Structure 1
Amino acid sequence: MKTIKVIIEKADRNYSAYLDGIDGIVTTGANVSEIKSNMYKAINAFVEECEELGCEVPEEFSGEYELVFKMDVESVLDFYSGIFTKAGLERITGINQKQLWHYASGARKPRPEQAVKLESALHKLGEELLAISL
């Protein structure tokens, strides 16, 4: 199965997404779920249009493929700003609040190690939450 990376970025009032390495397919949405749904629709519409016009369908869409969604740190911090406080993120990541504010505002990009630290902490939290039954 092929993996296609979808890059999600913060836009003015919502989020935009495009396919890494494949031109011509973009979408927008208010949240990640909407982006996912809209991206599948955009891909299907693109493939149908290619077939109708006799254009070559990109090889990535032949056979089975999986979309993997990637956000930059600024977009993640913005998207979840109503859920995670900087103090809470500091506790689970070990990254101080001042740095998190810089990352969230886009004033400073995190070093790759810091981005991995944040991603790992969020994934660990997700795993812990999935293990809980109520």
Structure 2
Amino acid sequence: MKTVKVIVEHAGKNFSAYIEGAPIITVGNDMREIEDNMSEAIQLYLEDNPNPVELLVGEFELKFKIDAATFINYYSNIFTKAALSRITGINERQLWHYAAGVHKPRKTQLEKIQNGIKTLTKELQAISLV
């Protein structure tokens, strides 16, 4: 099964999402709504187009990609910059710069953020409440 990348960007008070190479775009108030709206937009596109773009022919799964600033700002109600600093090892002030769009993180910094999130996810998945 192939993977189709959905690019999600901050768009003022909500989010927009699109698929490069396909005439599909949607908006939503949060990530869950973006996922639902994108699935619906793809379904409508496939129903209305007998010859869809090759990218959307056959079986595929959607992979949602967001930039560091969007991630940090969207999840700021869950992660403070201090908490994100602890799980990523990135200076809190630098995270503020990323969130504000003053600087874009280098590849190594993006990997630190991604690895920190994955580590936290594994820890949380291992927990069973009694």
Question: Which category of TM-score, normalised to the shorter sequence, fits these structures?
Answer: over 0.9
Cα distance, 1:27 vs. partner?
A: 0.6
Match among 96, 100, 103 for residue 101 of structure 1 = 96
Distance 2:6 2:96 in 1: 25
Given that 2:2 and 2:61 are in contact with CA atoms closer than 8 Å, whether structure 1 keeps it comes out as: yes
- For 2:59, the aligned partner's letter is E
* Alignment partners' CA distance in 2, 1:26 and 1:123: 28
Alignment of 1:46 with 2:41, yes or no, is no
Give the letter aligned to residue 3 of structure 1.
T
Aligned to 1:122: 117
> One-letter code of the match for 1:75?
T
Please give the residue correspondences for 1:45-124 in structure 2 after superposition, counting only pairs within 5 Å: 45-51=44-50, 56-124=51-119
CA RMSD of aligned residues (A): 0.9
Percent identity between the two aligned chains? 50
Q: Are the counterparts in 2 of residues 4 and 20 from structure 1 also a CA contact under 8 Å?
A: no
Q: TM-score, normalised by structure 2?
A: 0.95
Classify the secondary structure of the residue corresponding to 1:36. Answer: helix
Q: Deviations over 1:18-54 (max 9, x none)?
A: 01232x1001111111111100100011111113xxx
Q: Give the equivalent residue in structure 2 for 1:2.
A: 2
Q: Deviations over 1:101-129 (max 9, x none)?
A: 00000111011110111011011111111
**Residues in 1 aligned to 2:101 and 2:39: alpha-carbon distance in whole angstroms:** 29
Q: Which runs of 5+ in 1 are unaligned?
A: none
Note if contact 2:9-2:16 (Cα within 8 Å) is conserved in structure 1: yes
Q: How many residues align?
A: 129
Structure 1's consecutive aligned runs of 4 or more residues displaced over 6 angstroms after TM superposition are none
Contact 2:21 2:55 survives alignment (8 Å)? no
